[in-house]
A = this chain, B = another copy of it.
Amino acid sequence: MDSGSEHDLPDLFLRTARRIRRSMHARLAPLGLTPGQARALRILGRSEQPLRMAALAGQLDIVPRSATTVVDALESAGLVSRAADPANRRSTLVTPTAAGRAALERMAEDRRRAAADLFATLSPEQRESLRELLALLDVDAADQCGPNEPRRAG
């Protein structure tokens, strides 16, 4: 009734993002995970190797300090473990535990269903278009506005 007009592209984008985040939050709450924690766990789960904190932060597109908070929570929940990198003792390697991998499996199905729900108003072709457009936006995006990338002029 009050949402259909006058929004520019960034506005529309953040509006939908808010809705997605709200939905994820509700879906994950019963599992005791926040959307950010679940996202980090997925990244760790799909990685072949244990990830350093900085690498995880890079994939999450947040500063390393913020990754610490996320990993702290996951570690407390027993879903990931930290270990010093033998090759470079400054580095911390993070890996999902067995419980972490089990949680990922439990979440996967639910996640697919939720995504389908969220984008239910789009046809499969439209969803594919959206995916392509988002991928385009993502390409050099981090270079421009990422928190970890060096700032450039402009």
Contacts and interface: CB of A to CB of B under 8 A. Distances in A.
Question: In which size bucket is the chain A interface?
Answer: 35 or more
Contacts of A126: 133, 136
B4 A139 contact: yes
A130 B12 CA distance: 10
A26 B118 CA distance: 30
A48 interface: no
A35 B61 CA distance: 19
A121 B134 contact: no
A16 B13 contact: yes
Given A17-B17, A61-B15, A131-B12, A121 B145 contact: no
Interface in A111-125: 111, 114-115, 117-119, 121-122
B115 A136 contact: no
A35 B18 CA distance: 13
Residue among A10, A140, A141 with most chain B CB within 10 A:
A10
